[in-house]
Amino acid sequence: MTPYRYADFYQRSLQDRDGFWAEQAQLIDWQSPPQQICDYSNPPFARWFVGGTTNLCHNAVDRHLQDRAEQPALIAVSTETNTEQVYTFAQLHTEVQCMAASLLALGVQKGDRVLIYMPMVAEAAFAMLACARIGAIHCVVFGGFAAGSLASRIEDAEPKVIVSADAGSRAGKVVPYKPLLDEAIRLSSHKPGAVLLTDRALAAMDLVAGRDHLWGDLRQKHLNSVVPCEWVDATHPSYTLYTSGTTGKPKGVQRDTGGYAVALAASMKYIYCGNPGETYFSTSDIGWVVGHSYIIYGPLIAGMATIMYEGLPTRPDGGIWWSLVEKYKVTVMFSAPTAVRVLKKQDPALMARYDLSSLRALFLAGEPLDEPTAQWISSALGKPIIDNYWQTETGWPILSIANGVEKAPSKFGSPGVAMYGYNVKLLDENTGDELTGANQKGVVAIEGPLPPGCMQTVWRDDARFVNTYWKSVPGKLVYSTFDWGVRDADGYFFILGRTDDVINVAGHRLGTREIEEAISSHPNISEVAVVGVADALKGQVAMAFAVVKDATSLTDDAARLKLEGEVMKVVDNSIGAVGRPARVRFVTVLPKTRSGKLLRRAIQAVCEGRDPGDLTTMDDPAALQQIRDLVAP
Helices (H), 42-137: 56-60, 65-68, 89-105, 122-134
| pLDDT computed for residue 597 by the predictor | 59
Confidence of residue 213 (pLDDT cuts 50, 70, 90): very high
pLDDT of residue 2: 40
Q: How far apart are CA 505 and CA 166, in angstroms?
A: 27
Asked whether residue 143 carries a pLDDT value surpassing 90, the answer given is no
Q: Helix (H, G, I), strand (E, B), or coil: what is residue 564?
A: helix
Q: What percent of the chain has pLDDT over 90?
A: 70
Out of 289-293, 402-406, 504-508, 593-597, pick the least confident.
593-597
Q: What is the pLDDT of residues 372-422, one digit of tens each?
A: 788 889 989 999 999 999 999 999 999 999 999 999 999 988 999 999 999
Mean pLDDT of 38-44: 98
Question: What angle in degrees, to the nearest 10, is found between the helix axes of 600-607 and 621-631?
Answer: 30
Rounded CA gap, 55 and 51, in Å? 13
DSSP 578: G
Is residue 502 scored above 80 in pLDDT? Answer: no
Quote the CATH superfamily of domain 502-631: ANL, C-terminal domain (3.30.300.30)
| Alpha carbons 414 and 416: distance in angstroms, whole number | 5
**Residue 398 contacts residue 416 (beta carbons within 8 Å):** no
Q: How far apart are CA 259 and CA 48, in angstroms?
A: 6
Q: Confidence class of residue 552 from pLDDT cuts 50, 70 and 90?
A: confident
Nearest one of 477, 473, 479, 436 to 456, comparing CA atoms: 479
Question: Would you state the torsion angle of the CA atoms of residues 261, 26, 422, 37, taken in this order, to the nearest 10 degrees?
Answer: -90
Q: Are 412 and 376 in contact (CB under 8 A)?
A: no
3-class DSSP state of 137: strand
**Contact call for residues 138 and 144 (beta carbons, < 8 A):** no
Q: Does 90-230 carry CATH code 3.40.50.980?
A: yes
pTM metric for this prediction: 0.85
Contact 106, 192 (CB under 8 A): no
Residue 1 confidence (pLDDT) above 50: no
Phi/psi of residue 539, nearest 5 degrees: 85, -60
DSSP string, 275-297: -TT-EEEE-S-TTSHHHIIIIII
CB 61 within 8 A of CB 300: yes
Kindly indicate the confidence band of residue 348, based on its pLDDT and cuts at 50, 70 and 90: confident
- Report H helices in 503-578: 512-520, 557-574
Domain coordinates in residue numbering, the chain: 90-230, 502-631
